Amino acid sequence: MRRDWGFIKDPLYGYIKISQLEREVIDTAPVQRLRRIRQLSGAEYVYPAATHTRFEHSLGAMYLAGLICDNVPLGLEEADAEMLKLAALLHDLGHGPFSHIFDPILIKYLKKTHEDITVWLIRESEVKEILSAQLDADKISRLAVGALRDKERPFLDQVISSAFDVDKMDFVARDSYHTGAEYGYTDMFRLIYTMDVINNSLAVSSTALATLEAFLLARLESFKTIYFHKASRAAQIMLVHALEKARHELNLTSFTTVEDYLALDDYHVWHQLKRCKQSEPIIRDLERRKLLKCAFETTLYTRDAVVTSIFTKESVREHLEEEIASTAGVDPDDVSIDVPSLPSVPYSHSTEEPMDVPIAFDLGNGKKEIRRVGELSRVIDVLRVYMNILRVYTPEQHRRKVKEASERVLGNLPSETKLSY
């Protein structure tokens, strides 16, 4: 079935070999649109080279899925291996303009995620026609979001969505490369080459435990230095506000066809936001790097019910924003509480992350024993500590007043919290 077409040059992996079918899917409008969706919108205000796109990340995820097919004993027929690679290629197809920054708009007003849009685009666009000539497009749409639910082969979903899936392996390395943060280097090849399938699930060899630790630590460091960087988040908050203000005028949530949605890329929406009266002042500030400032920050290590509600309930955060604004004597629109659990944050770190990875021990005579990584690694066990960061942002001229108001309003949080300003 597979007919090789050629190669694509990638800065991380060298040459990525692609088949004729993969090339045809890559050349569709939905996939090519990913060239116009930045991977880390907002990060370029901190890391000037962080202008890479969802397109190259998708190619990288497809490459790693192929590497797993070639080196891990999955027992896949050629057609299933191609299905897995194409699912990895298409896993981010549904991202809106500015990537995760558009997620709160989708969730709040349409009750949909970008994964829902991914499934919709694969099933309703030209992608389906091309896939259906050789494969099952419906299965690929579900596998692309880690929801195939194949009871006999759960490892298929795990390649796409798990603690060490191809999405995370690529974006941690790629985002680190383009930002220059240098926290994301992990020997992912050793991780892949030592993987195994035990009881139809992916497992990491005990010989690669140190590599797995390095990977999970890289994810944590990337979260702190890239995805939740103060200035980067300031730019992202401003973009969310601009999208909210322009939502009706630009019909951002009234799309009904694939073509309508595909028109929503970074270039088009940025241009429209500049022309919209409500959002233009925010875009003007962004173009001059006049960012919101962090007036208050606290790192929380507690599961107190009040604290949890701040991170999980928008209504609670809105109430606190209003109280802080009233105390500071500023407009409520000038106070924003930012937490890692918001949909616009690409990756958050907490104990909810699935880090209990199966570790395979070779007992000899073809026998293997599975143990949970939490039993074996003190490093990974420490990463389970409940940790969340809360910040309050405001325009620079209100920074002092909002800082003092935030300290008064949020100063009665449980004593287990650790505060830093």
The torsion angle over the Cα atoms of residues 141, 147, 153 and 159, rounded to 10 degrees, is: 80
Q: Is residue 280 part of a domain?
A: no
Structural domain ending residue among the three candidates 230, 249, 282: 230
Cα(349)–Cα(163) distance, integer angstroms: 12
Of 329, 338, 330, nearest in space to 296 by CA:
338
- What confidence score (pLDDT) does residue 64 get? 98
**In terms of DSSP bridges, do strands 4-10 and 367-372 run parallel, antiparallel, or are they unpaired?**
unpaired
CATH number for 148: 1.10.3210.10
Half-sphere exposure of 57 (CA within 13 A, CB side): 31
148 shares a domain with 17 = yes
**Residue 313, in any domain of the structure:** yes
Same-domain check for residues 135 and 12 = yes
**pLDDT of amino acid 384:** 58
Q: Rounded CA gap, 273 and 259, in Å? A: 20
Same domain, 18 and 150: yes
> Does residue 88 contact residue 257 with C-beta atoms inside 8 Å?
no
Question: 84 lies in a domain?
Answer: yes
DSSP one-letter string for 243-301: HHHHHHHHTTT---SHHHHHT--HHHHHHHHHH-TTTHHHHHHHHTT---EEEEEEEE-
- Spatial distance between the Cα atoms of 173 and 228, rounded to a whole number of angstroms: 17
Establish if 226 belongs to a structural domain.
yes
What is residue 76's predicted lDDT score, i.e. its pLDDT? 96
CB 188 within 8 Å of CB 179? no
Same domain, 209 and 102: yes
Buried b (16+ CB within 10 A) or exposed e, 148-157: beeeebbbbb
From 215, 230, 245, give the residue that closes a domain. Answer: 230
Assign residue 146 a region: left if phi > 0, alpha if psi is -120 to 50, beta otherwise?
Answer: left
Distances (CA, A) of 143 to 4, 81, 130, 136, 155: 23, 12, 17, 11, 11
Question: What 8-state DSSP symbol labels residue 6?
Answer: E
Together in a domain, 76 and 225? yes
pLDDT of residue 351: 42
Q: Which residues of 176-202 are buried (b: 16+ CB within 10 A; e: fewer)?
A: bbbbebebbebebebbbbbbbbeeeeb
Rounded distance between C-alpha atoms, residue 46 and residue 233, angstroms: 10
* Structural domain containing residue 150: 4-230
Residue 284 covered by a domain:
no
For residues 190 and 49, membership in a common domain is answered with yes
Question: Among 45, 36, 61, which residue's Cα sits nearest to residue 171?
Answer: 61
Distances (CA, A) of 121 to 17, 30, 93, 357, 378: 25, 8, 7, 32, 43
- What is the Cα–Cα distance from 315 to 312, expressed in whole angstroms? 9
| pLDDT at 419 (0 to 100) | 41
Q: Rg of the Cα trace of the chain? A: 22
Domain-embedded: residue 278: no
Q: Identify the bridge partners of residue 389 per DSSP, sorted by sequence position.
A: 299
- How far is the C-alpha of 203 from the C-alpha of 357, rounded, in Å? 7
Co-location of 179 and 311 in the same domain: no
Provide the 10 A C-beta neighbour count for residue 267.
11
Q: Are residues 304 and 188 in the same domain?
A: no
**Are 137 and 44 in a shared domain?**
yes
pLDDT digits over 226-240, tens only?
A: 999 999 999 999 999
Q: Using the CB atoms, write b or e for 235-252: b if 16+ within 10 Å.
A: bbbbbbbbbbbbbeebeb
Report the number of distinct structural domains present in the chain.
Answer: 2
In this prediction, the residues of the chain whose per-residue pLDDT falls under 70 are 1-2, 184, 302-303, 348-356, 374, 381-387, 414-421
Domain shared by 218 and 299, yes or no: no
Is residue 160 within 8 A of residue 167, CB to CB? The reply is yes
Domain boundary among 230, 248, 283: 230
Same domain? 171 vs 22: yes
pLDDT at 420: 41
Residue 385 burial by Cβ neighbours in a 10 Å radius (0-12, 13-18, 19+): exposed
CATH code of 298's domain: 3.30.70.2760
In a domain, 71, yes or no: yes
| Residue 143 sits in the same domain as residue 17 | yes
- 287 belongs to a structural domain: no
**Is the separation of the CB atoms in 297 and 317 below 8 Å?**
no
